[in-house]
Amino acid sequence: MATAMLMLGACTTQEGEKQEATTDATENQAAIENIMTRTSIRQYKNQPVEQEKIDIMLKAAMAAPTAVNLQPWHFIVINDKKTIDLLSGQQPTNAPLLIAICGDTDKTTMPDGKSKLPDFWVQDVSAATENLLLAAHAQGLGAVWTGCYPIMERVAETANVLNCPKNIIPLAIVRIGYPDESPEPKNKFKEENISYNKFGGKKE
């Protein structure tokens, strides 16, 4: 998307400018559409996920915002069937691909090199997880977030299977594959969840 906009941005003709405006609107709509149509997918076709698509998901994940731009994360790509089965535990899956999204507490030191940032890594890694889900959906893949942290038993089991050092804390495992089901996205929009200016305040 950004590449397309950059390329169009180089056009100086009137025609080129017009084209840029149209493309921007269409791309904005496509981005919102991608967010609104994502839904958790738990059944997958027996079809591997291409490395190019994995790379794009990882790039999208690492484009997420992080507190003090510390990027306190690590991603473990898992396509080995045995490991997938070991990690799936009580929720078996036929996903051909998992990505474990972990916090890296060694990367939570403030730029002054002294103090540690409090647990913002959880929010940072969650933002990366959502970006990854959206990138999966945008590429025709289905995915579901399965939670590890803060259930410390799950964290320990996952870290053990993946041979993680102490500083690497699995927050989520995203299951990914080509969808073999097509559930409707849930409509979760509720006016009652919104206030204006103060809690309980109404829209003017």
Ligand X SMILES: Cc1cc2nc3c(=O)[nH]c(=O)nc-3n(C[C@H](O)[C@H](O)[C@H](O)COP(=O)(O)O)c2cc1C
- Sites of contact with ligand X (CB under 6 A): 39-40, 42, 91, 144-147, 186
Residue nearest to ligand X (CB): 147
Rounded distance, CA 120 to CA 31, Å? Answer: 27
> Which tokens go with 175?
């299951």
Give the nearer residue to ligand X in terms of CB position, either 109 or 147: 147
Element (H, E) at 38: none
- In the complex, what is the shortest distance from the CB of residue 203 to ligand X, in angstroms, rounded to a whole number? 25
> How many helices, marked H, and strands, marked E, lie in the chain?
6, 4
Q: Which of 187, 175, 72 is nearest to 121 (CA)?
A: 72
> Which tokens go with 159?
């870290």
CA–centroid distance for 179 within its chain: 17
Q: How many residues are recorded in the chain?
A: 204
- In the complex, what is the shortest distance from the CB of residue 101 to ligand X, in angstroms, rounded to a whole number? 11
Give the nearer residue to ligand X in terms of CB position, either 120 or 145: 145
Rg (the chain; Cα; Å): 20
- In the complex, what is the shortest distance from the CB of residue 84 to ligand X, in angstroms, rounded to a whole number? 15
- In the complex, what is the shortest distance from the CB of residue 133 to ligand X, in angstroms, rounded to a whole number? 8
Rounded distance, CA 101 to CA 137, Å? Answer: 17
Q: Is 54 helix (H, G, I), strand (E, B) or coil?
A: helix
Give the nearer residue to ligand X in terms of CB position, either 92 or 200: 92
Give the nearer residue to ligand X in terms of CB position, either 58 or 173: 173
Tokens 């790379």 sit on residue: 55
- In the complex, what is the shortest distance from the CB of residue 93 to ligand X, in angstroms, rounded to a whole number? 9
- In the complex, what is the shortest distance from the CB of residue 175 to ligand X, in angstroms, rounded to a whole number? 8
Give the nearer residue to ligand X in terms of CB position, either 111 or 183: 183
